[in-house]
Amino acid sequence: MTTGYLSPKLEVRAAPEKGGFAVFAREALARDETLVGWGGRIVTLDQVLALPPEERGHTIQVDEALYLGPIGLEEPADYINHSCNPNAGIRGQIVLVAMRPIAVGEEITFDYAMSDSSSFDEFACACGAPNCRGQVSGNDWQRPELWKRYDGYFSAYLQRKISKLVNGE
């Protein structure tokens, strides 16, 4: 059962080198075009940590200490992988949009720094991007260089936190 949205211009493909699956463009996509709308149920961090490992990796933080957890594992939108050089970003809290034009066959990726501010899903990064940070952490959203690069593409709650930091609040 799926509860989210995956653009019909996208498809999920097996990607064993990525640990399972990835999402790719079947058609060209324009900047700011909606790619994904995540669905699920709102859960706390304690509830996320109680999920089986295969479900835990299918969560996204949507607010301070709140996460969107899966209802099942058949959610195609959950196969969007991390990259330190992404082509997609967050609009609001649960929508992913293209940050630039995306070509046919290109993998859809976003930087988890755009949504995560907790340490529950930290890992060594192997995205292969020239600017790879080598480690994905719940503190990455605090990097000023990312504020500039992803301006307008952070989740709403993180954008509020960034604005407070920038304005000295």
Among the listed ranges 42-46, 110-114, 116-120, which one has the minimum average pLDDT value? 116-120
Structure confidence by residue, pLDDT tens digits, 140-149: 999 999 999 9
The DSSP annotation for 73-141 comes to S--GGGGPEE-SS-SEEEETTTEEEESS-B-TTPBPEE-GGGT--SGGG-EE-----TT--SEE-TTGG
24-28, 53-57, 71-75, 87-91: least confident range:
71-75
Write the CATH number for 75.
2.170.270.10
The mean per-residue pLDDT over the stretch 111-127 comes to: 89
Give the best-scoring range by mean pLDDT among 51-55, 59-63, 95-99, 125-129: 95-99
* Mean pLDDT along residues 95-118: 96
Local confidence band at 2 (pLDDT 50, 70, 90 cut-offs): low
Cα separation of 153 and 135, whole Å?
A: 21
Contact (CB, 8 A) for 71 and 40:
yes
Residue 153 has pLDDT above 80, yes or no: yes
DSSP class of residue 28? Answer: -
The pLDDT of residue 152? 94
The amino acid at 11: E
- CA distances to 30, 73, 85, 88 from 106, rounded to whole Å, are 13, 23, 13, 11
Number of domains in the chain: 1
CA pseudo-torsion sign 138, 73, 152, 132: positive
Residue 143 carries which DSSP code?
A: -
What average pLDDT does the structure give for the chain? 91
What is the Cα–Cα distance from 101 to 24, expressed in whole angstroms? 13
pLDDT band at residue 32, thresholds of 50, 70 and 90?
very high
Q: Are 118 and 64 in contact (CB under 8 A)?
A: no
Q: Give pTM, 2 decimals.
A: 0.92
Bigger pLDDT: 102 vs 166: 102
- Residue 101 binned pLDDT confidence (cut-offs 50, 70, 90): very high
Question: Domain of 18?
Answer: 5-166
What pLDDT is attached to residue 91? 96
